[in-house]
Structure 1
Amino acid sequence: MRRLLCLFALITVSLSPSALAQSAFDTRASHAVILDFETGDVLFSKNGDEAMPPASMSKLMTALMVFEALEDGRFELDTSLPVSENAWRRGGAASGSSTMFLDVNSRAEVGDLIRGIIVQSGNDACIVVAEALGGTEENFAQMMTERAHELGLESASFANATGWPDPDHRISALDLARLARHIIETYPQYYDIYSETEFTYNGIRQYNRNPLLGVFDGADGLKTGHTEESGYGLVASAERDGERRIVVFNGMESNRARADESERLMRAAFSEFSTVELVEAGEVLGEAEIYLGVAPSVELRAADSLSFGLHRRDRDGISAELVYEGPLHAPVQEGDVVGQIEVTLPDGREMSVPVEAAQSVARKGAMGRAGAAFARLIRGG
């Protein structure tokens, strides 16, 4: 029999279907995620796991590939790379796309190309480093995808280095947030570039499109994106009072709407969301009946900790149950996994944590088992 023990002290036991389907917080963006940097907990998600067209936000992955090449010695900051006619034609001003204004058949240093990618969102700069690292942009895109999967970004599928529209160029908002977290954590020596508000190359000054820089206190990265297919999007991060949040959203209808929503979401990330620890590893949550055991029951404890991010008004809308198949049959060893905690959040997220026996319980001897069997027969069990 499947047994359910409700965690009365921690949760509301039951919810209506409508309550489970809607969080107290929402956004006009089609996809959005708020991530706590320190814990990696998702504070808010709207279609966050759904692969979407990221536009130039995918240049985070292009830049990461360059950072890794710098780390392993394939590049130095002053390494000079050739600008092919392909990079110039497909990524230059004539293409009508974001550009660093590189000259055809010239050479550019990696340090400048990084700023061309990050600050200016230059497609030409992306193609130059792609051809240098992968031979062709197509090969480099495959390298990007493989590396993303190695990092656990399973939704990622890259068709190019720039974010140019392609049905095979996709990544989820959640994986973009995780990618941003990895860059901030792993490459602090390069992350400062994301906060630079302008960069001049070939005598042409261009400004960082991130609408939070200089507007939201503590904002210091990362990358905008826009195509007709994706709408206007942003991967952003900010730090306040020792806490850092990462916000990703996409699908806004205009540059102005993106700017407004970026400030609203980032402000909410700090003032309206926090991490909730529902249970700690080893915490005793209840007990389960044992059949034919020398003790009638055994305490059940959480095998792992369970924490998650939540809007402050959603705390009363958590549904959690301690589930096991019972009664348990002796013998039971301490640490045996016998069930799980099943949790549903108001925004639809579901998660679980294994539950284990907190003590060992031996099986009764022959006389004890006979007595138990007789008692069960009388009860009609």
Structure 2
Amino acid sequence: MAIAGFTVISAAQSLPVHAAEAIATKAPKAFLYEPASGTILYAKAPDEPFAPGSLVKVMTAATVFKALKDGDLKPDQLCRVSEHAWRTGGAPSRRSTMFAAIKSEIAVEDLLRGLLVHNANDAAIVLAECLDGSEDAFAERMTKLARSIGMANSRFANSTGYEDKPSRTTVRDQARLAEYILETHPDRYPLFALPEFTWNKIFQRNKNPLLGEIRNLDGLGGGSDPTDGFSGLGSVERDGRRVIAAVAGLTSDKHRLQTLQEVIEGAWEYFTVQTLFSAGDVVADGRIFGGTKSTVPLVSRKDIDVLLARGGTLDYRIRVVYEGPLLAPLAKDVPAGELHVIGKDGIVYRAPLVTGEAVAEGTLFSRAVDGLQELLFGWIG
């Protein structure tokens, strides 16, 4: 009889590779992630919260992207510029704006360009009011979306990032947000790299402080907070490989750029793709209860390719975990566990494993023997 929720560690070994200690950054918080393989390349205080300031607008954009995909908004839908949006985020605010005229109506697609090219606060407020009637309601939608995509330590207070109601996030969550946009809204992602946008005969270049400063960077944004300092979220595709990096707690825009560049360049300088297992290779054996066999091979459906460090002094470890014992009869290709690659800061990579063959139900006698073993000794993977 299976013990529900009991995790069995069935394999552990050291790899002939080492974790990188070569990436050096003075950023108090930093996170480097390779989304294709799901590998965490670098993490420094990844779950320590900070106020993101204008970096919130990346979450605002993601929330609007989802509303468009779900049909809650349409690209050509006109949104009215309220007095609140005009005074708080428009010309009277003396902040970044697309200079939307009070009581004018602007299409959602133009507001998105204003938001991401002009870093426009009026666009952020108009989009929030157009979708949910108020910034507070829109902020609830933002936080709900964040939770649903795995941003466990983030909450959002408004669509602009204004510090009178500070939002909270982490560099890990920001990287997850970038991954969500790249995966779920690839058609919208190019908006982050638009070089310029003219609205109401006013020409403005892209105000993302990172664009053009780091080679091949094509998104996403930066922000600052009087207390928590400067933060940045960037994504780079180079030589067929994309990485996402987030930094926070920096003292200036120059410091932010320098540290983000250090972290991103480390992906190419210190890491290389290594195939740990090919598709169909036996990764480990899982214990079986009540079957014609006592074990079943656990395999991966695809190659397990991981970005691992070229050199260093700290070994990675492989561990396979599954809930066991597995119950017979058991079909082939059934999800049955995970492979974990573990570095000095915890799990850096996960890959799902499935059963490599079918196992039929055993005889009454064999099932009785298995039951007696469980009763007397428990199950050891």
Question: Which range, TM-score by smaller chain?
Answer: 0.7 to 0.9
**Candidates 97, 100, 105, aligned match of 2:98:** 100
CA distance in 2, matches of 1:69, 1:324: 37
CA contact (8 A) 2:229 2:252 kept: yes
Secondary structure in 2 matching 1:189? coil
CA gap of 1:143–1:24, structure 2 versus 1, over 3 A, is same
Which residues of 2 match residues 160-171 of structure 1 at below 5 A? Answer: 160-165=158-163, 169-171=167-169
How many percent of aligned residue pairs carry the same amino acid? Answer: 35
Which residues of 2 match residues 278-289 of structure 1 at below 5 A? Answer: 278-279=276-277, 283-284=281-282
Secondary structure in 2 matching 1:185? helix
CA distance in 1, matches of 2:84, 2:310: 51
CA contact (8 A) 1:41 1:307 kept: no
**Candidates 38, 41, 44, aligned match of 1:43:** 41
- Please tell me whether residue 183 in structure 1 is matched to residue 142 in structure 2: no
Match of 2:377 in 1: none
Q: CA deviation at 1:62?
A: 1.0
Which residues of 2 match residues 43-192 of structure 1 at below 5 A? Answer: 43-165=41-163, 169-192=167-190
- Please tell me whether residue 193 in structure 1 is matched to residue 199 in structure 2: no
Q: CA deviation at 1:287?
A: 7.2
Higher mean alpha-carbon deviation, 73-82 vs 172-181, is at 73-82
Q: CA deviation at 1:364?
A: 11
CA distance in 2, matches of 1:324, 1:201: 56
Q: CA deviation at 1:130?
A: 0.4
CA contact (8 A) 2:68 2:74 kept: yes
Secondary structure in 2 matching 1:188? coil
- Please tell me whether residue 241 in structure 1 is matched to residue 247 in structure 2: no
Q: CA deviation at 1:92?
A: 2.9
Root-mean-square deviation over aligned CA pairs: 4.3
Q: Which has the higher contact order (CA 8 A, sep 6+)?
A: 2
- Deviation digits for residues 224-252 of structure 1, max 9, x if unmatched? 11121331111111211222111111111
Secondary structure in 1 matching 2:79? strand
Match of 1:15 in 2: none
Match of 1:207 in 2: 205
Secondary structure in 1 matching 2:26? coil
Q: Flag structure 1 segments of 5+ consecutive residues without an equivalent.
A: 13-18, 374-381
CA distance in 2, matches of 1:248, 1:302: 33
Match of 2:3 in 1: none
CA distance in 2, matches of 1:74, 1:338: 38
CA contact (8 A) 1:102 1:124 kept: yes
Q: CA deviation at 1:337?
A: 11
Q: CA deviation at 1:317?
A: 1.7
CA gap of 1:50–1:139, structure 2 versus 1, over 3 A, is same
CA distance in 2, matches of 1:3, 1:186: 34
Higher mean alpha-carbon deviation, 269-278 vs 60-69, is at 269-278
CA contact (8 A) 1:11 1:319 kept: no
Calculate the TM-score normalised by the size of structure 2.
0.75
Q: Flag structure 2 segments of 5+ consecutive residues without an equivalent.
A: 1-7, 374-381
Higher mean alpha-carbon deviation, 336-345 vs 307-316, is at 336-345
Q: CA deviation at 1:126?
A: 0.5
Amino acid at match of 1:189: D
Q: Looking at CA atoms only, which structure, 1 or 2, has the larger radius of gyration?
A: 1
CA distance in 1, matches of 2:237, 2:338: 36
Calculate the TM-score normalised by the size of structure 1.
0.75
Q: CA deviation at 1:283?
A: 4.4
CA distance in 2, matches of 1:314, 1:197: 40
Match of 1:7 in 2: 13
Amino acid at match of 1:107: E
